[in-house]
């Protein structure tokens, strides 16, 4: 008997592995067709137009610029909502294009897409319990988050988490996948000297309770 394949881009609880292997196959095909046409000022992947943006510009500089006008809290909110908008629209497009209908399969495509577009990898922790209702809960790490990496590479230490675009994008994708309103919050962040960028995701009205619980668990309360 052959050993089942393991996902290469995502770490997740074992029962979810076949979903991610299938998602990796589908996404590899999509992202295999990358074309750069500088004479037309265009980059396409399987005929879908993409943009290349320098990671540090989209994290450090963008955040600093917004922050200088709107303040840090509002800047973080804007960045979160920008990420969420991308997550919602990308999820809708890929679910349709790949013909995905089941919530768990729809979710599985998200972290794989995330890895291919260079935002981060995703490790889903075993205590996660994604379900299409108010009990939805996800806890995960974003290794190589482009936001945290930009800060560490520039040797800027933040006094708070910085991966708001990552948080918003994952919440948007999962919200579309499961059809329930979801929000995500980063609990620990490499940009502030932590080992991992750990996020929790839940319906908004449950987030305060989870935030307190997991900040305490990770020594951030």
Partner 1 sequence: MSEKDMTSKITELLRSFQSSTPGVLGAGVISTDGFAIASELPQSVEERRVAAMAAAMLALGEQTTSEFEHGRLERVFVEGTDGYTVIMSAGAEAVLSVVARKDAKMGLVFLQMERTADALRKVMA
Which one of 17, 55, 81, 104 is in contact with partner 1 (CB under 8 A)?
81
Pull the structure tokens for residue 46.
């399987």
Which one of 208, 216, 217, 221 is in contact with partner 1 (CB under 8 A)?
208
Q: Is the backbone of residue 118 left (phi > 0), alpha (psi -120 to 50) or beta? A: left
Q: Which of 127, 101, 125, 132 is nearest to 111 (CA)?
A: 125
CB of 134 to partner 1, least distance (A): 11
CB of 87 to partner 1, least distance (A): 14
- Phi, psi of 72, rounded to the nearest 5 degrees: -65, -40
Count interface residues toward partner 1 (CB under 8 A): 19
Q: Is the backbone of residue 41 left (phi > 0), alpha (psi -120 to 50) or beta? A: left
Beta bridge partner(s), residue 110: none
Which residues from 44-73 bind partner 1, rule CB under 8 A?
A: 70-71, 73
Which one of 77, 128, 152, 196 is in contact with partner 1 (CB under 8 A)?
77
Which one of 8, 42, 181, 217 is in contact with partner 1 (CB under 8 A)?
181
Does 91 engage in binding with partner 1 (CB under 8 A)? no
Please report how the helices 17-31 and 103-116 are oriented relative to each other, as an axis angle in degrees rounded to 10.
Answer: 50
Does 206 engage in binding with partner 1 (CB under 8 A)? yes
Distance of CA 36 to the CA centre of its chain: 25
Q: Using CB under 8 A, list all residues that contact partner 1.
A: 70-71, 73-74, 76-78, 80-81, 181, 183, 185, 204-210
């Amino acid at each position: 008997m052959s050993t089942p394949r393991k996902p290469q881009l995502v770490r997740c609880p074992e029962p979810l592995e076949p979903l991610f292997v299938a998602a990796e196959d589908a996404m590899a095909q999509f992202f295999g067709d990358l074309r750069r046409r500088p004479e037309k000022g265009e980059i396409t992947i399987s005929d879908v137009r993409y943009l290349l943006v320098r990671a540090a510009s989209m994290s450090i500089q963008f955040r600093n610029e917004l922050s200088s006008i709107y303040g840090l809290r509002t800047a973080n909110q804007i960045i979160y909502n920008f990420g969420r908008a991308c997550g919602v629209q990308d999820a809708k497009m890929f679910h349709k294009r790949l013909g995905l209908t089941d919530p768990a399969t729809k979710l599985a495509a998200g972290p794989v897409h995330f890895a291919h577009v260079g935002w981060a990898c995703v490790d889903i922790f075993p205590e996660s319990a994604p379900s299409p209702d108010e009990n939805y809960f996800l806890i995960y790490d974003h290794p190589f988050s482009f936001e945290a990496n930009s800060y560490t590479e520039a040797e800027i230490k933040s006094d708070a988490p910085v991966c708001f675009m990552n948080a918003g994008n994952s919440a948007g994708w999962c919200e579309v996948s499961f059809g329930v309103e979801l929000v995500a919050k980063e609990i620990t962040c490499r940009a502030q000297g932590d080992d991992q960028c750990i996020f929790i995701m839940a319906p908004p009205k449950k987030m305060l309770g989870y935030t307190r619980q997991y900040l305490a668990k990770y020594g951030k309360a």
